[in-house]
A and B are shown apart, each in its own frame.
Chain A
């Protein structure tokens, strides 16, 4: 915008991506009914903690597997084995989460 003109699209993206959440929260704050009471001030555990934890682990897994998948054809056998070992390590984490009950629906 001001300096580096190749980055104009980047600035647009940044501004829109900042505006949308602000807009969302503002509209929701305008339209929602407001009620007071002591219940509203207490803390609330939504139960999604375990989901978020397991999600983060496997998301980082995916992030590392994407570049490998994109350049799979030019890398050799040794890289395949290394990626395999990486996935095995994550499977160990998955077995742990499974036995501890993180994969249950309730």
Chain B
């Protein structure tokens, strides 16, 4: 009996910590005798600490992985794949929380509930990654989305933020409905919600001719719902608006954490639903469309956050190519892509709010950054070049492996399209344009930025070093992801 609870002790700890933080924050920030202190930084550091302790608990619970299969029958199944995905998720969350502190001080943001609303979806994402049942998957996705709707609208005085929040609500509630509809169709046609049972029922259902339109529709709807949630291209309609209008740490959180967890979950679902012709075609189409859109749509942008949003959509498209092939190399390339994508995105979003004297909204504001703050310019350009896929950096590594996996499974159309769009994104002055602005432009008035605070600079140092060291020494990453991919197929 106790083994069951030890197996979920990271999540239980995170839930309890969130509630205690909430009560601590609300009791002390409304108490008259302490003169109503705004507890944002306090709760923020405690929140960061609780996420890190959860990480420790997760790492310490690794020997329990073999025993933790006791939960197999009910909701989730933990193995190496989920273990490392959860670690990546917790690390990204810790990174985004540490990005928030500076913006709290500068903008005099005093709602501590914002911080409480970050470990809460993290906990539901921790439960979503190993979810092995349709009901568990849906509940976790819903819980995670609800918290995000709120924090996307958290800058109450800004219209942009409110608009982003309501757009995200609509863009998130609708695919939850579609996802649930798909789950109910599959349950109605097969009578099983647990992935193991579904795997037995759905094995090769396209080939054996035992097709049922209910199952087909169910899988289609689940795939479409999940694709909405990771803002894949035919379904990405308001995602740039959401990413632009939300406060920057929220955008960072939004572009990393749900992608990790939904990709992990989707790869589980796709393995179970046996990667039939329908699923693969949908994912291929979405990947191609995402890559093309990510490369082309960012050309016309003048602000800084919108091209980051488009580039994240495009990069997620690249990652999805790895995922659309049903092979182990596919899952491995997906995981490599996600690790590198997470560090690049944390990098990019840590730099953007750091450039503030007035807030940086337009790209023209980046002019001559190389003269005023050369290290920041170099870090930003490393990140941008990594996004573009230029060789000595990690982005090239991940793209190379993704296309390699795609060619390996016979997607002969997809890989050239990917290469071409990556080149367009590179040459057609998109990422390179930012670098040019920074290094070679001379603005009319010199813009002076305040120096960056300590937490963000630490974060930037860690992620940039990961990006630059990934190419010469990629083997730990490759080994790790190979193990993860293998264990997810077991």
Binding site for B on A (CB under 8 A): 89, 92, 95-96, 99-101
Q: Which residues of B contact A (CB under 8 A)?
A: 19, 22-23, 26-27, 30
Chain B residues, Cβ within 8 Å of A99: 26-27, 30
Residue of A89, A92, A96 ringed by the most chain B CB atoms within 10 A? A96
Q: How many A-B residue pairs have CB under 8 A?
A: 16
Contact between B30 and A92, CB atoms less than 8 A apart: no
For the complex, would chain A's binding face be called helix, strand, loop or mixed by DSSP majority?
helix
Chain A's nearest CB lies how many Å from the CB of B110?
14
* Inter-chain contacts of A92 with B (CB < 8 A): 19, 22-23
On chain A, the residues within 8 Å of B22 by CB distance are 92, 96
Q: Can you name 5 extra interface pairs (CB under 8 A) apart from A100-B26, A100-B30?
A: A92-B22, A95-B23, A96-B23, A99-B26, A101-B30
Please, which residue of chain A has its CB at the minimum distance from the CB of B19?
A: A92
Q: List 14 A-B contacts (CB under 8 A).
A: A89-B19, A92-B19, A92-B22, A92-B23, A95-B23, A95-B26, A95-B27, A96-B22, A96-B23, A99-B27, A99-B30, A100-B26, A100-B30, A101-B30
- The residue on A at minimum CB distance from B18 is A92
Give chain B residues whose Cβ lies under 8 Å from the Cβ of A95. Answer: 23, 26-27
Collect the chain B residues with CB atoms within 8 Å of residue A100's CB.
26, 30
Quote the shortest CB–CB distance from A83 to chain B (angstroms): 17
Name A89's closest neighbour in chain B (CB-CB).
B19
How far, in whole Å, are A99 and B23 apart by their CA atoms in the complex? 9
A96 to chain B, nearest CB (A): 5
Name the CB-closest residue of B to A97: B26
Report Cα–Cα, A52/B36, bound state, in Å: 26
Residues of B within 8 A of A89 (CB): 19
The closest CB in chain B to the CB of A98 belongs to B26
Which of B22, B26, B27 has the most A CB atoms < 10 Å from its CB? Answer: B26
Distance in angstroms between the alpha carbons of A53 and B143 in the assembled complex: 18
Q: Roughly how many angstroms separate A77 CA and B454 CA in the complex, as a whole number?
A: 51
Report the bound CA distance from A89 to B120 in whole Å.
13
Smallest CB separation, B75 vs chain A (Å): 14
Chain A residues contacting B30 (CB-CB under 8 Å) are 99-101
Going nearest first, the 5 A-B pairs with the smallest beta carbon separation are: A99-B26, A99-B30, A92-B19, A96-B26, A95-B23
A62 CA / B40 CA spacing, docked (Å): 33
**B450 vs chain A, min Cβ distance (A):** 34
Shortest CB-to-CB span from A91 to chain B, Å, is 10
With both beta carbons as reference points, the residue of chain A lying nearest to B29 in the complex is identified as: A99
CB distance from B155 to the nearest CB of A (A): 19
Question: Closest CB-CB distance, A38 to chain B, in whole Å?
Answer: 25
Minimal Cβ-Cβ distance residue in A for B1: A78
Report the minimum CB–CB distance from A45 to chain B (whole Å): 16
Task: Collect the chain B residues with CB atoms within 8 Å of residue A101's CB.
Answer: 30
Cα distance, A89 to B15, chains bound together (Å): 10
Tell me the smallest distance from the CB of A52 to a CB of chain B, in Å. 17
Once the chains are docked, how many angstroms separate the CA of A100 from the CA of B26? Answer: 7
